[in-house]
Amino acid sequence: MDKIDYQVLRILQRDASASNESIAADVGLSTMAVWRRVRRLEEEGVIKGRVALLDAKKLGRPVTAFVMLRTQQHGAAWFKRLQAAIADIPEVMEFHRLSGEIDFMLKVSLRDLDDYQDFYRKLTSQVELMDVSTAFAFEQVKSTHELPI
C-alpha cells in the first residue's frame, strides 16, 4: 500500500458513497486508476464492506448497553455455544473477548429496559455465565468508524 491508497481509504472512511470520479479528483489519479485501487483493496480485504451509518435514536433504539460477561468456562465447546447465542441476538452490535477480569464485552442496542430484560433472559438461558454486569450509556461523547491511518 502506498500514500495514495491511504488517501483513498481516508476518503472512503468519511463517505463510502464517494464516487470514483470525486476520489480521483481529490487524489490526482484517473477514474479508472481509482477504480482499480479500490477493487484491489476490496479483494485484499482491506476494505471489508461499505455501509450506511444509521441514527439509533431516530430508529427507536436510544439505549446503548455495555454488557460485561465473566465465566468459569473456557473450553472450545462452551465458546462455540456463546458465539452461537450471540449470533442469534441481533441487538448485539459488537462482541469482544478481553484480557483481565472481564472475559467478554458486548455493545448492545436497545429500545428500552424491557428490551434489555428480554436480551438478558435470552443470553443467560443459552450459556452458563458466572457474572453479567451492565453499564448503560447516558451520553455518546465520541463515535467514529474512521481508523487513524
The per-residue pLDDT for 126 is: 95
Q: Are residues 67 and 13 part of one domain?
A: no
Residue 29 lies in a domain: yes
Sheet with 104-110, strands from edge to edge, namely 92-97, 104-110, 63-70, 131-136
Whether the pTM exceeds 0.75: the reply is yes
Residue with cell 458486548: 106
- To 10 degrees, what angle do helices 3-14 and 31-43 make? 80
CATH assignment at residue 17: 1.10.10.10
How would residue 43 be classed by pLDDT, with cut points 50, 70 and 90?
very high
Can you tell me the distance from the alpha carbon of 75 to that of 121, in angstroms, rounded to the nearest whole number? 23
- What is the domain extent for residue 38? 3-43
Per residue in 13-40, pLDDT (tens digit) is 999 999 999 999 999 999 999 999 999 9
Residue 147: inside a domain, yes or no?
no
Helix/strand/coil for 93? strand
